[in-house]
A and B are shown apart, each in its own frame.
Chain A
Amino acid sequence: KAGVTQTPRYLIKTRGQQVTLSCSPISGHRSVSWYQQTPGQGLQFLFEYFSETQRNKGNFPGRFSGRQFSNSRSEMNVSTLELGDSALYLCASSPVDSLGTDTQYFGPGTRLTVL
Chain B
Amino acid sequence: AQSVSQHNHHVILSEAASLELGCNYSYGGTVNLFWYVQYPGQHLQLLLKYFSGDPLVKGIKGFEAEFIKSKFSFNLRKPSVQWSDTAEYFCAVNRNSGAGSYQLTFGKGTKLSVIP
- Hey, which bits of chain A sit against chain B, CB under 8 A? 31, 33, 35, 42-45, 48, 50, 55-56, 58, 90, 92, 94, 96-109
- Contact yes or no, B102 A100, CB < 8 A: yes
Q: In the bound complex, do residue B98 and residue A99 qualify as a contact, i.e. CB atoms below 8 Å apart?
A: yes
Find residues 65-101 in chain B having any chain A CB closer than 8 Å to their own CB: 90, 92, 94, 96-101
> Which residues of B come within 8 Å of A, CB atoms?
32, 34, 36, 42-46, 49, 51-52, 90, 92, 94, 96-109
Q: Give the A-B pair count, Cβ closer than 8 A.
A: 70
Docked Cα-Cα span, A85 to B60, in Å, equals 34
In the complex, the answer to whether B46 meets A96 with C-beta atoms within 8 Å is: no
Q: In the complex, what distance in Å separates the CA atom of A95 from the CA atom of B108?
A: 26
Contact between B99 and A48, CB atoms less than 8 A apart: no
Q: Which residues of A contact B103 (CB under 8 A)?
A: 33, 45, 48, 56, 58
Cβ B44 vs Cβ A106 within 8 A? yes
Measured between beta carbons, the chain B residues less than 8 angstroms from A45 are 103-105
Chain A, Cβ-Cβ closest to B98 = A100
- Please name all residues of chain A whose beta carbon is closer than 8 Å to the beta carbon of B109 when the two chains form the complex: 42-43
Q: B100 near A100 (CB under 8 angstroms)? A: yes
Contact B104 A33 (CB under 8 A): yes
